[in-house]
Amino acid sequence: MTSPAQTLLLFGATGDLSRRMLLPSLFGLDADGLLPADLVIYGTARGELGDDGFRETAAKALAGIVAERKLDPSVQERFLNRLHYVAADASVPETLGAIGDAVRPNAGRLAIFLSTAPSLFEKTIAGLEMAGLAGEGTRLALEKPLGQDLESSREINDAVARVFPEKRTFRIDHYLGKETVQNLLALRFGNILFEPLWNASAIDHVQITVGETVGLEGRTSYFDGMGSLRDMVQNHMLQLLALVAMEAPAQFTATAVRDEKVKVLRSLRKLDAARESVIGQYTAGAVAGQPVPGYIDELGDPSATETFVALKAHVDNWRWHGVPFYLRTGKRLPSRKSEIVIQFKPVPHSMFSGRGAILHPNRLVITIQPDENIRFSIMAKQPGLDRGGIRLREVPLDIGLPNAFADVRRRIAYERLLLDLIEGDPTLFVRRDEVEAQWDWIDAIRAGWADNGMVPKNYPAGTWGPAAAIALTERDGVSWHD
């Protein structure tokens, strides 16, 4: 399984994800000479495009990058020449025969990426099998959402497993491809400094925020059927939590890393939904100075779907006993910001208190977006002769990653994930047991909402969710890091 794929087959090749992320990522890899020289890329979708039509779609998707990187047109030409197109209807397994005929000569080393609606997965997989494209040398990548709850996710996973064994199944969570997310592993396990303190004895609480300024973005039927809990917490945020909370894996390998993550996910305590969760839905407001409509107006229908969720989670194990993990995410928040805050405890005794100095506990802020940054706040003495008492001040130790690695191009998450898929490294893909542990926890929260008759509270677009989300932390004496 370690030999690189010779053929990449993209389902949903003309869709939004493909145009915004997959084709630009593949092109970025090609421009840097990272794709196997003989890699051929087949796109497939329902429309009758032909190779030329697909190449045109791709060229449009790449125009911005080519201009920004001032690339020689020959680089684009080389990439476009790798592209081929076969029309097929993924909902009718028999129509995949044409793909089989085109791809089979190279099917010995094949990577397939399904970026289509999950309702099509089962039929697509049956079609792939019929077309002789599911053999030993084929790896299958699946885009989220993998189901809507544990039961539907199991159905999808069972359908996949009937044809593709787990070691050839690559479940995408694009947050795992983000540079700072992996930097979290480097920070925790590449330094002696933090790990001895990375537990309940020194950490007061953890906050994970993924804030978005966008609203529905036209994804009405998808998002309204899911809501923020299932769209963001079930996958991205729980993966971040798992990486923060897991024990040190013995090796940086797929099995070792995923074994540790799944232990954390299985240790999540079932939430008391009424006390430990807050849900919200945005009303009209302003984001970045621009007026925006409310969710219901955007949707055009009444809806009880949450566009914001805040949770107080606990990892029930020895390391994290009594340490809350506060999570929040939402649409139409004041800023696009993804960050992890590790709030350390105060020193047990301050020798400076008699001299009037106030100490702030240390805080580590790992910013994933919009900038990649790691900031550690420490106490330092303010210069001076201190006749009126010692003055200490919080100062940041900043690791601005773009500055530290200014000469390295920042890559989008899908570049890494696609290359890992092509090369057959599953470390940054999600294993079935992880997905199912995630759903198990999420389903219980939704059941709690139903039992308690909870419906989203309104919040004006451009604010950090309903007031109750602030109360969720404040009653523990904790403020969100805004």
Q: Which is nearer to ligand BG6, 127 or 330 (CB)?
A: 330
Q: How far apart are CA 480 and CA 482, in angstroms?
A: 6
Q: How far apart are CA 367 and CA 396, in angstroms?
A: 14
Shortest Å, Cβ 350 to ligand BG6: 39
Shortest Å, Cβ 449 to ligand BG6: 20
Q: How far apart are CA 273 and CA 147, in angstroms?
A: 22
CA 411 to chain centre: 15
Q: How far apart are CA 193 and CA 374, in angstroms?
A: 14
Catalytic status, residue 236? yes
Please measure the distance between the N-terminal and C-terminal CA atoms of the chain and give it in whole angstroms: 45
Shortest Å, Cβ 402 to ligand BG6: 17
Q: How far apart are CA 422 and CA 135, in angstroms?
A: 16
Q: In the bound complex, which residue of the shown chain has the CB atom lying closest to ligand BG6? A: 231
Which among 228, 210, 220, 221 has a CA at the least distance from the CA of 280? Answer: 228
143 is a contact residue toward ligand BG6 (CB under 6 A): no
Query: Considering only residues 349-388, where is the footprint of ligand BG6 by CB under 6 A?
Result: 369
Shortest Å, Cβ 212 to ligand BG6: 5
Q: Which is nearer to ligand BG6, 231 or 372 (CB)?
A: 231
Shortest Å, Cβ 15 to ligand BG6: 13
DSSP assignment of 269-306 equals PPP-HHHHEEEEEEESEEETTEEE--HHHHHTS-----
415 is a contact residue toward ligand BG6 (CB under 6 A): no
231 is a contact residue toward ligand BG6 (CB under 6 A): yes
CB 151 within 8 A of CB 444: no
Q: How far apart are CA 224 and CA 222, in angstroms?
A: 6
Q: Which is nearer to ligand BG6, 255 or 369 (CB)?
A: 369
Q: Which is nearer to ligand BG6, 225 or 400 (CB)?
A: 225
Q: Which is nearer to ligand BG6, 107 or 229 (CB)?
A: 229
Q: How far apart are CA 369 and CA 337, in angstroms?
A: 5
Q: How far apart are CA 406 and CA 13, in angstroms?
A: 33
Residue with tokens 């107080």: 312
339 is a contact residue toward ligand BG6 (CB under 6 A): no
212 is a contact residue toward ligand BG6 (CB under 6 A): yes
Q: How far apart are CA 444 and CA 77, in angstroms?
A: 51
Q: How far apart are CA 27 and CA 103, in angstroms?
A: 21
Q: How far apart are CA 306 and CA 284, in angstroms?
A: 15
Q: Which is nearer to ligand BG6, 220 or 369 (CB)?
A: 369
Shortest Å, Cβ 209 to ligand BG6: 11
Q: Which is nearer to ligand BG6, 204 or 231 (CB)?
A: 231
Question: Looking at 236, 314, 321, 360, which residue is catalytic?
Answer: 236
Q: How many residues form the binding site for ligand BG6 (CB under 6 A)?
A: 4
Which among 175, 95, 171, 167 has a CA at the least distance from the CA of 339? Answer: 175
Binding mask 319-338 for ligand BG6 (x = CB under 6 A): -------------------x
Binding mask 168-207 for ligand BG6 (x = CB under 6 A): ----------------------------------------
Beta bridge partners of 70: none
Q: How far apart are CA 119 and CA 38, in angstroms?
A: 33
Contacts of 474 (CB under 8 A, 6+ apart): none
Provide the token pair at 463: 């604010």
Binding mask 18-47 for ligand BG6 (x = CB under 6 A): ------------------------------
Q: Which is nearer to ligand BG6, 219 or 269 (CB)?
A: 219
Binding mask 249-278 for ligand BG6 (x = CB under 6 A): ------------------------------
Shortest Å, Cβ 451 to ligand BG6: 27
Shortest Å, Cβ 338 to ligand BG6: 6
List interacting residues with ligand BG6 (CB under 6 A): 212, 231, 338, 369
Active-site residue list: 236
